[in-house]
Structure 1
Amino acid sequence: MFNLFKKKKEEKHRGDQYLSLKVREIVKETSDTVSVFFEQPEPFLEYKPGQYLTVILDLGGKEVRRSYSLCTSPFVDPHPGISVKRVEGGLVSNYFNDQLRPGKTIEIMKPLGHFTTDFHSKNKRHFVMIAGGSGITPIMGIAKSALINEPESKVTILYCSRSEDQIIFKNQLEKLQDQYASRFRVVHNLSQPTSSWTGLKGRLDSNKVKDTLTNILASDTNPLYFVCGPEGMMETAIQALESMGMPKELILKESFFTDIDAKEATLKASGKLSPELTREIEVIVNGESHRFEVPAGKTILEAGLDLDVDMPYSCQSGLCTSCRGKLISGKVDMIEDAGLSESEIAEGYILCCSSKPASSDIKIIIE
């Protein structure tokens, strides 16, 4: 009887964070990118434009999780959708591009993420968005939401792709330009265009960002910046914006990749990490306490999963915040905190996937 009660309790907690979605339609965006649209569950899936969801698949007898940004707008699109770009050797991205079919039911973790904003019909803003490759995915949802909710606001996208046939959402972007001619603009930059291409070409650099945006922003007083794409492109774009005097708090960024091992090595070499020791900690997940040891060198998440503690997670690289918990006592070394806002860090939140114990009195609450 106790085991049955415990199982039902675990299923209830899991239901608070997880749900199943049925694939409605799969759209081929480019040769290596598909958009997957889901049937709306009951009740409707709630999300903010720019957020991501985590898919959970059983592939080859092993559970795998990946986070993908929603490309849809809850204010415009009837069905939520994600876009998945093929990654060489990528287990999940290749499955989505080659094997997934309509009718399949997929388990997900409910949407999360801070790469978003609130909208109001009285706002008069300029959404300035710089995207590269699949970084256009969350940008699309935010752009459509801004255009429909804020009739006095404008949207400009500087979008970097490899070639003409690799422009994700090409048709959708063209339709938005036709529909919102005076309020929506896309400037494409191609790194490997055909000889007939007359637009921006080559690698994105600071001068291109400045030249493209200076005239566009000349008469604007209320811009808001969104940057998403490959790490190098994002660094270039953010540095250019900051050199133009754009306040840091007006620049929102979303990273899809980070080399957490390299960052840890750098921190270790500079003496900024505590000695790696085996420590016992307490983690409270949805009200249930778990005490366990974290072996030297392992993260809190790794140790918990090794012991079958049902801790939420996805990217395991410090970006998605699925494993976010609040540090009630003790100290940790957090290798990567890119997924957290400054206010969250100040409030004591940590990412279990990139945190290692640095003291012996650690208590973490995950809700």
Structure 2
Amino acid sequence: MFNLFKKKKEENHLGDKYLSLKVREVVKETEDTVSIFFEQPEPFLEYKPGQYLTVILDIQGKEVRRSYSLCTSPFTDPHPGITVKRVNNGLVSNFLNDHIRPGKTLEIMKPLGNFTCDFHSKNKKHFVMVAGGSGITPIMGILKSALINEPNSKITLIYCNRSEEQIIFHKALNQLEDIYAGRLIVIHNLSQPSSNWKGLKGRLDASKLKDTLESIHYPELDQIQYFICGPEGLMNTTVSTLESLGIDDNQIIKESFYTDIEAKEEALKSAGKLAPELSREIEVVLEGETYHFEVPAGKTILEAGLDHDVDMPYSCQSGLCTACRGRLISGKVDMIEDAGLSASEIEQGYILCCSSKPASSDVKIKIE
């Protein structure tokens, strides 16, 4: 990816999938949210707008990993950055908010993720973006990239929060609206606003969303694409509303930060859609090495691999990212959650090891 910005050399201590990044700046976005910007490594960090980094920390002697979306654009921002919002009892999010300062070095996995798109200067596209809370993070990078790369495209952002104080990137969004007047419209919706709030109020239900979408129309644009990221309720409401309006699935790109994988597994069990839970021997090919190990009944492929000291890559452990992605060479697996994979990846035989359990005795997986 072409990059105009000056790079600083950083030593890479880990394998090909990992990097050490030095913190350049920490910006407090709201009372419970910070953005962490990094010095550019050498070679520079290649990523697509909307992708995420996996942060690897040692907290109280235990390795923990969490995925955080990049809030920056490789086309406009000289330094890559992630935005981290505190989560109640969140081990890593609270640690990053409280203890990360400029000069510190963080270990990461290189950027991954399918919540992105390609850009072309000749496109005439309407980007419709619906975000809630920290769901603005990946959308911010996509938004800035579209504005700079597609001068004939326009963007409508519907951004939901609890109150004015909770709006992440509030100042930056206002500045972008001024710079790109006529091309960027930001519509804020607050569920618990102050008494003098003039914008949309209450939860974003189907009726309000439909009215908002139908009020903005650009007949001169020949494409429309929807990006959705936020709490599960907001995403479900948005997707169902778009479906009721006849929007094709191919036009909708969504990113979820949360899934109840245990509830999904119980539902699949109740429906009789899962194979009997048995201990099975499997084969995993990782970085040219072949490993054979047993996956005990009830455990995922990733859990068993880590138990056998196989250094399998992973991050979210809930099927939402693709850090643990592998290609199923033979056999069958039950994949409880596949939200991190695109339809084409699933067709090509890719699985997520963190949410998959062997369903036959001839399972062979190549980690890619």
* 1:281-318 deviation per Cα after TM superposition (whole angstroms, max 9, x unaligned): 00001111000000000000000001110000000000
Q: Tell me, what secondary structure is at the counterpart of 1:296? A: coil
1:154 is matched with 154
Q: Which amino acid aligns with 2:232?
A: E
TM-aligned CA deviation for residue 267 of structure 1:
0.3
2:54 is matched with 54
1:75 is matched with 75
Q: Tell me, what secondary structure is at the counterpart of 1:216? A: coil
- TM-score, with length taken from structure 2: 0.95
1:18 is matched with 18
Q: Tell me, what secondary structure is at the counterpart of 1:15? A: coil
2:105 is matched with 105
Q: Measure, in 1, the Cα distance between the counterparts of 2:14 and 2:77.
A: 27
Does the aligned pair in 1 maintain the 2:13–2:20 contact within 8 Å? no
Q: Measure, in 2, the Cα distance between the counterparts of 1:108 and 1:343.
A: 27
* 1:328-351 deviation per Cα after TM superposition (whole angstroms, max 9, x unaligned): 000000000001111111110000
Does the aligned pair in 1 maintain the 2:13–2:19 contact within 8 Å? no
* 1:248-295 deviation per Cα after TM superposition (whole angstroms, max 9, x unaligned): 100000000000000000000111000000000000011110000000
Q: Which amino acid aligns with 2:44?
A: F
* 1:54-76 deviation per Cα after TM superposition (whole angstroms, max 9, x unaligned): 00000000000000000000000
* 1:98-141 deviation per Cα after TM superposition (whole angstroms, max 9, x unaligned): 11111110000000001000011111101100000000000000
Does the aligned pair in 1 maintain the 2:330–2:363 contact within 8 Å? yes
Q: Measure, in 2, the Cα distance between the counterparts of 1:167 and 1:13.
A: 37
Q: Tell me, what secondary structure is at the counterpart of 2:351? A: strand
Q: Which amino acid aligns with 1:178?
A: D
Unaligned 5+ segments in structure 2 are 1-11
Query: 1:199 and 2:215 equivalent?
Result: no
Q: Measure, in 1, the Cα distance between the counterparts of 2:61 and 2:334.
A: 33
Q: Measure, in 2, the Cα distance between the counterparts of 1:180 and 1:294.
A: 54
2:4 is matched with none
TM-aligned CA deviation for residue 221 of structure 1:
3.6
Q: Tell me, what secondary structure is at the counterpart of 1:55? A: strand
Q: Tell me, what secondary structure is at the counterpart of 2:340? A: coil
Q: Measure, in 1, the Cα distance between the counterparts of 2:215 and 2:174.
A: 22
Query: 1:235 and 2:244 equivalent?
Result: no
Does the aligned pair in 2 maintain the 1:13–1:286 contact within 8 Å? no
1:253 is matched with 254
Task: Point out the more displaced range, 334-343 or 14-23.
Answer: 14-23
1:4 is matched with none
1:280 is matched with 281
Q: Measure, in 2, the Cα distance between the counterparts of 1:266 and 1:19.
A: 39
TM-aligned CA deviation for residue 172 of structure 1:
0.4
Q: Which amino acid aligns with 1:170?
A: H
Q: Which amino acid aligns with 1:73?
A: S
Query: 1:178 and 2:205 equivalent?
Result: no
Q: Measure, in 2, the Cα distance between the counterparts of 1:119 and 1:35.
A: 25
1:313 is matched with 314
- TM-score, with length taken from structure 1: 0.96
Q: Measure, in 1, the Cα distance between the counterparts of 2:181 and 2:304.
A: 53
Q: Measure, in 1, the Cα distance between the counterparts of 2:214 and 2:196.
A: 27
Q: Tell me, what secondary structure is at the counterpart of 2:118? A: coil
TM-aligned CA deviation for residue 14 of structure 1:
5.1
Over the matched positions of the two proteins, sequence identity in percent amounts to 74
1:327 is matched with 328
* 1:192-247 deviation per Cα after TM superposition (whole angstroms, max 9, x unaligned): 10011111111111111111110213534411100000011000011111111111
The RMSD of aligned alpha carbons is 1.1
Count the aligned residue pairs.
356
1:268 is matched with 269
Q: Which amino acid aligns with 1:102?
A: P
Q: Tell me, what secondary structure is at the counterpart of 2:16? A: helix
Q: Measure, in 1, the Cα distance between the counterparts of 2:239 and 2:27.
A: 32
Q: Measure, in 1, the Cα distance between the counterparts of 2:353 and 2:272.
A: 21
Q: CA 1:13–1:39 in 2, change beyond 3 Å: closer, same or farther?
A: closer
Does the aligned pair in 2 maintain the 1:312–1:323 contact within 8 Å? yes
Does the aligned pair in 1 maintain the 2:332–2:358 contact within 8 Å? yes
Unaligned 5+ segments in structure 1 are 1-11
Q: Measure, in 1, the Cα distance between the counterparts of 2:56 and 2:360.
A: 33
Structure in which a larger fraction of residues adopt helix: 1
Q: Which amino acid aligns with 2:95?
A: Y
Q: Measure, in 2, the Cα distance between the counterparts of 1:46 and 1:258.
A: 28
Does the aligned pair in 2 maintain the 1:161–1:189 contact within 8 Å? yes
Pairs within 5 Å for 1:329-344: 329-344=330-345
- Once superposed, which parts of structure 1, at least 4 consecutive aligned residues long, lie more than 4 Å away? none
TM-aligned CA deviation for residue 191 of structure 1:
0.6
Q: Measure, in 2, the Cα distance between the counterparts of 1:112 and 1:156.
A: 26
Q: Measure, in 2, the Cα distance between the counterparts of 1:68 and 1:207.
A: 32
Q: Measure, in 1, the Cα distance between the counterparts of 2:15 and 2:185.
A: 41
Q: Which amino acid aligns with 1:359?
A: S
Q: Which amino acid aligns with 1:302?
A: E
Q: Measure, in 1, the Cα distance between the counterparts of 2:67 and 2:88.
A: 17
Q: Measure, in 1, the Cα distance between the counterparts of 2:286 and 2:232.
A: 33
Q: CA 1:68–1:88 in 2, change beyond 3 Å: closer, same or farther?
A: same
Pairs within 5 Å for 1:79-228: 79-217=79-217, 219=219, 220-228=221-229
